[in-house]
Amino acid sequence: MASRLPLFNLTAASLLVVAMPPAVITVSAGENNFSDIHEGKVRRLLKQLNKPAVKSIESPDGDIIDCVPIKKQIAFDHPLLQNHTIQMRPSCHPEGDHAGNAKKNTKPLIQLWHVKGKCPKNTVPIKRTKKEDLLGPTSFESFGKKSQKSIPQTGSNDPFTGHEHSIAFVANDKFYGSKSMVNIWNPFVQLSSEFSLAQTWVRAGDGSDLNTIEAGWQVYPDLYRDFNTRLFVYWTRDGYQKTGCYNHVCPGFVQTNNGVALGGSISPTSIYGGTQYEYTILIWKDKASGNWWLQVQGINVGYWPGTLFTGLADSATRVDWGGEIVNRRTNGKHTSTDMGSGRFAEEGFGKAAYFRNIQIVDGSNTLQPTPGLAAIAEQPNCYDVQLGTAGTSWDSYFYYGGSGLNPNCP
């Protein structure tokens, strides 16, 4: 596949940010005061996000991972979690496993910062937010937040919403979690303001009452200031309007594990026609506590407290798996941002991205297959999805993805 250079230069962009502060919009007598106010807001936000650490680790990719005492993490700044008692481990795990070979040949979760050290017990690794991170997006107030168009819409065919999805889903029932194997890639992203991701959505409600819990991997230059593939989580309780964020950018997700950094780079990633890498993602509701736990590759990372939610305080009514991109359109055309591997579903294993061994957690806390699995590709000429054949060792599975701009995707 021919090499494509993204329309973004991190070094040049960083210099431009320093030379031209985004707060200074017009020249006026009050310009310096306005800039000072902006700088003050940035400093306060950085202090809020970056809690004092007992140890800091410099990752080879430029990240700084702060080992923050578990009781001092930003989650407990949330008003609903002021008197929260940390649940250090789930009271139970989902029973049964219909995932066939999913347990075999399990490989460890590898993040680049691991080569430089590890966080002590009773601390959690938090990716440090830097000043340049906040100055990258259009508004630092929107840093780490999704737009309201980030949820798959059944039957949507509007090419101008920006967000495009190719997903499989189950709906119209009560779901208490999801487990799947997700194929890991490093897709091309053309513009810094675009992203490409693969994730699970566990959701309830709709519109402004939409609750979601999300986890997967993404490439998002505006958020992370590079083109690395990174592990992420997200949540919202009001359809992305005011609540929720990525990782630890706002209070919410409570981390309990000292070896997994949310927002940290994942390595290695799959090779077209070569070695394929995949991780297991399990999300389930601990009915004893009401919390929604996250497990990645067999590691209990932490949980979303049940008190954060309205609809998800009970159960999910729909679960989605698949890919999402943002298309900003340049010169009136679709951009060339990849979804998945950048190849369409028909190319199959080793070439197209996939989810496999897809299961849901039922009301008895048991993993079950997904016989009602359906699929949606909002822009099938740009990115498509193809359900797999039942009865294989992969159980429920699908391929998805595409290259964006092409003769059929103008």
Cα gap 355→199, rounded to integer Å: 9
Residue 153 amino acid letter: Q
141 is catalytic: no
According to DSSP, the residues that pair with 303 across neighbouring strands are: 254, 293
- Can you tell me the distance from the alpha carbon of 229 to that of 221, in angstroms, rounded to the nearest whole number? 10
List 66's β-bridge partners, or say none: 56, 126
Whether residue 164 lies in the annotated active site = no
Tokens 């310096």 identify what position? 32
What are the tokens at 225?
Answer: 């200031």
Catalytic residue among 214, 278, 346, 347: 214
Angstrom distance (rounded) from CA 288 to CA 345? 40
Which burial class, exposed, middle or buried, applies to 56 when counting CB atoms under 10 A from its CB (0-12, 13-18, 19+)? middle
Q: Report phi then psi at 72, rounded to 5.
A: -105, 5
Beta bridge partners of 21: none
Catalytic residue among 164, 194, 278, 324: 324
- Give me the active site residues, please: 214, 324
